[in-house]
Amino acid sequence: MTSKQRAYLKSLASVINPIFQVGKASLTPEITEAVNEAFNTNELIKIAVLKNCADDPREIAEMLAERTHSQVVQVIGKKFVLYKPDKDKPKIVLPVAKKGSNNA
């Protein structure tokens, strides 16, 4: 993902509210499964990490992205955004990467 594509996704994410919260139990299989299911209807998901969660939000975001085969768009404070394009009918059209650029 290029920096331009990431910036575009960040702008889209700025207006959405978190649809999941990670709490004291941290990243449970249930949360992973719920996020995975949410990607069936949403390509961009914002998640909040509650204050009672001892784990680092960036580590949670990276683990969740790995488990759901998505990408971390951003981590700001106790919130993070994940992106997973729909394979069949993508709703979000990313800006095209310029040839010769590999800002992944």
Residue range 17-38, pLDDT digits in tens = 999 999 999 999 999 999 999 9
- pLDDT score for 97: 67
What CATH number corresponds to the domain at position 78? 3.30.110.60
Residue 103 resides in a domain: no
- pLDDT score for 94: 85
**Cα 9-93-49 angle, rounded to 5 deg:** 30
Q: How many independent structural domains does the chain possess?
A: 1
Residue 97 resides in a domain: no
Residue 92 resides in a domain: no
Which pLDDT tens digit goes with each residue over 45-104? 999 999 999 999 999 999 999 999 999 999 999 999 999 998 888 888 888 866 655 554
Question: Of 77, 71, 79, 64, nearest to 8 (Cα)?
Answer: 71
